[in-house]
Chains A and B, each alone.
Chain A
């Protein structure tokens, strides 16, 4: 059966615009002259939408589409790729002169390359989404070639394609080889590295545990064997007084050994208790630090519950396995070996039967591990969902109450909780089945040994004391074996947690700083945006070839409909995301070449999403400048029109806010966030709908304060309410990711274009509800009648 290509891209050279030599030879053989090919791209569907290998390329004469198959021969061992055989079945071509611009369209699960052929829109290729980026590049290179006659490979700054070096499958950023191709032992090795700093402590724990185990192993030799064979059986016919004396020495020895064992255990547990909090602390710090490095994109793709679970539960799972589990495994394994050696010395025939049971235990462990791993993951998913649901419910309480949906919410919670219960039950039942089956095996073994040993005692091949101590040793085997059987489960829980922790630790931030990043001595605040292009997902452009220039100290207002791309521009200037093509320059330096801390320190962003951290109001205002004096905090709060409402709170600036703190209105929270930015004293201030949640009067107060702050800093204000942008030196109207109009307020009104249209709509809407807001009249605007006439 043909192994159909998987959705993810196979390794190929098409991303660099060339085909592998074997494919070029196959295309040549099928009648296509490949000498002058300029750019190539591989697909995985034919133009009818069926899965098939397909290849697209163009040269100076035409664009060619070939369909066929690529058969990958793999080595029998480990499936290593040996060679690919290409069969070309069909080739179609379109003369370049007949084609105009190419573009890609993204559908729900596929994409399509579309072109204009002699004025008719035609579908040139279809592909799955894994190929979308490659086809998008193909279209760009083709279009540039048509315009300039030159081949320009995609911008080096563009988002890199994360593909595995070995298999070509998807690969997390920052890793050359995907998790599937990485070695199995890697998880265990990396886990041990977590404990690299605690080798002496772990060695001490191990030493005391081994000592304790050795003592335990020798106790039956004294307590059982000596008691029966030397005292109770009285082989030498010693007098009773001597026997009693020997018994006293024996009891004393047992007491001494037990006491020594207790002391060793106490020391070992003391060391464990001192190491324990430090290791957990370190693991949590490592995960938390890794999470702080990551870009905004990582957080928008993960549920909060799942991330919190990683920091708290996963760290604990790893800790318990390594601090409690690993030493115990070593000790218990050593105990098993020690007991078996003693048992072999005592009676090798019986011991052979005992060791025959070991593979049985091994198989149970192997299957247990497989079974438990999947179950633990299922439990983790339910637990995360339950956490997310609780957090969702708490945050949405007002809405729930407003719609009287408490019962439905309870029902929703109960459903998930019930599924979680079932999953827990399933796991508990599986554990309850596995562990007793190991126990049962040991019990059966004991019965067999007792029977056979009894025969040996009757035949005189073994003393009664030896048999009894042998049975005691067999019983002693039971506990370590139970423990070891449970370890499969323990290890699977730890490995499951470790995989999730490593995923966070390995994830590379998409926004990285260059090695020789530039720092500013004195930032002027000039912003230059050139041919900027950006998309959150391939073939869904949000910003399209946008160019903009803002002089130092100038205020630029950005207006446009919801979803036009206004906030994205702000995010790109602050480099929360990187542009796909084009550039954002500050004082002539590309933001990607700037030191990130320097850039962010100089850009103050007041966004639509306000977040106040747990702490006092003063702490929140001081967030960007922790050493700010109280004078500065009050001045910033006054500038943001926050001082008055803060002073009305019982604890004023010491009021606790954030989760569990004082409830503040949207406008109040927004004002604190503005004060936070003001205290930062940035050279570039971005106000993204900063005053949207406020009443007109407060908005005016803040605007007046911001107008004072404007001096000496570049300001970008994004707003729906056009009246808020009256003071802007320049306005840019954005529509579908591009600038459709630009100029001062008055010019735009006079131009009677898109801005004027939006301005009129807002004014008419206010009139319709009986509000005539004079503030919305532009400076020196013509009277209404004149505007209408002109219209």
Chain B
């Protein structure tokens, strides 16, 4: 084997693959007068930053990538819980706006017509309706949660399939896989 190849193969170790995360000591957030999220990182001010989840379904408050508005990465937060309470509140507010996803609490009816699935659901106390096409693509199931994406791209979450009533589950089951 070529020595240089051996060297490069040996240099790939778990240590070299580690990612650097930013700590609350050098990074803090604030709300701009216009209602956006700003950040101070290593003494530098970023008047508007964007938070992106690396694992939006399984770990929504971990591995948060922070970019500027042009999507240039500034840093990564390993866990939002490492930050003080007030900072966590700002992070959560920004994430909830960016990843807005109403939680479906009951399914009233699902009607199918020509490849369109008309969902009448309840989000809390509010009855809502939406339409899904191409179920295989737009119903995503993880261990216990289901994400429904409607024709416009809006997302609806069933955060815990075990929590919705039996009637709702029975209506939804034929469409899950």
Contacts and interface: CB of A to CB of B under 8 A. Distances in A.
Interface of A: 1-4, 6-8, 47, 49, 51, 107-110, 112, 117, 120-123, 126, 128-130, 132, 169-170, 172, 178-180, 182, 187, 301-303, 306, 373-375, 377-378, 381-382, 384-385, 388, 416, 419, 423, 499-500, 502-503, 506, 537
Nearest to A116: B34
A6 B113 contact: no
B149 to A, nearest CB: 8
A536 to B, nearest CB: 12
Contacts of B150: 7-8, 130, 170
Contacts of B97: 49, 107, 110, 112, 126
B136 A381 contact: yes
Given A120-B33, A375-B174, A108 B115 contact: no
A182 B36 contact: no
Interface residues of B, number: 44
Given A6-B129, A500-B115, A503-B115, A110 B100 contact: yes
Nearest to B47: A121
A1 B127 contact: yes
Contacts of A121: 32, 34, 36, 47-48
Contacts of A6: 128-130
B142 to A, nearest CB: 14
8 contacts: A7-B129, A49-B96, A108-B98, A109-B153, A120-B32, A129-B154, A500-B115, A502-B114
B176 to A, nearest CB: 8
Query: Interface of chain A, helix or strand or loop or mixed?
Result: mixed
A381 B35 contact: no
A128 B152 contact: yes
Nearest to A306: B136
Contacts of B173: 378
A373 B62 CA distance: 42
Interface in B138-163: 150-155
Contacts of A302: 134
A123 B36 contact: yes
B26 to A, nearest CB: 25
A439 to B, nearest CB: 26
B34 A130 contact: no
B177 A108 contact: no
B15 interface: no
Contacts of A1: 125-127
A3 B129 CA distance: 10
A385 B136 CA distance: 8
A3 B127 CA distance: 6
Contact of A107 (B99, B112, B118, B137): B99
Given A121-B48, A122-B34, A303-B136, A382 B154 contact: no
A107 B96 CA distance: 11
Contact of B127 (A4, A385, A502): A4
B11 to A, nearest CB: 16
A385 B177 contact: yes
B131 interface: yes
Contacts of A4: 123, 126-128
A573 B163 CA distance: 52
Contacts, number: 140
A169 B34 CA distance: 34
Contact of A170 (B123, B131, B135): B131
A1 B135 CA distance: 30
**5 closest cross-chain pairs (CB), A and B:** A503-B115, A374-B174, A6-B129, A378-B174, A130-B152
Contacts of B167: none
A292 to B, nearest CB: 19
Nearest to A303: B136
Contacts of A180: 111, 113, 116, 118, 131
A299 to B, nearest CB: 12
Contacts of B35: 47, 122-123
B136 A182 contact: no
Interface string B12-43: 00000000000000000000111110000000
B101 interface: yes
A455 to B, nearest CB: 47
B175 A378 contact: yes
Nearest to A375: B174
A187 B129 CA distance: 23
Contacts of B118: 180
Contacts of A107: 97-100
Nearest to B151: A170
A49 B125 contact: no
A271 B32 CA distance: 79
A109 B155 contact: yes
Contact of A377 (B36, B112, B125): B112
Given A170-B116, A178-B131, A499-B113, 17 more contacts: A6-B130, A7-B152, A7-B154, A107-B97, A107-B99, A108-B155, A117-B34, A121-B48, A123-B35, A129-B154, A130-B152, A172-B114, A179-B116, A377-B175, A378-B177, A499-B114, A499-B115
B152 A178 contact: no
Contacts of B175: 374, 377-378, 381
A688 to B, nearest CB: 25
A112 B98 CA distance: 10
Contacts of A120: 32-34
A246 B33 CA distance: 108
Contacts of B123: 4
Considering residues A109, A373, A388, A537, which has the most beta carbons from chain B within 10 angstroms of its beta carbon? A109
Nearest to B170: A374
Contact of B131 (A169, A382, A384, A419): A169
A49 B102 CA distance: 11
B55 to A, nearest CB: 14
Considering residues A3, A179, A187, which has the most beta carbons from chain B within 10 angstroms of its beta carbon? A179
A537 B137 CA distance: 16
B136 A179 contact: no
B165 to A, nearest CB: 17
A377 B176 CA distance: 10
A75 to B, nearest CB: 18
Contacts of A506: 114
Given A109-B153, A385-B177, A179 B126 contact: no
A224 B154 CA distance: 69
Contacts of A423: 177
A306 B137 CA distance: 11
Contacts of B135: 381
B155 A419 contact: no
B28 to A, nearest CB: 20
A109 B116 contact: no
A41 to B, nearest CB: 16
Contacts of B128: 4, 6-7
Interface string B34-65: 11100000000001100000001000000000
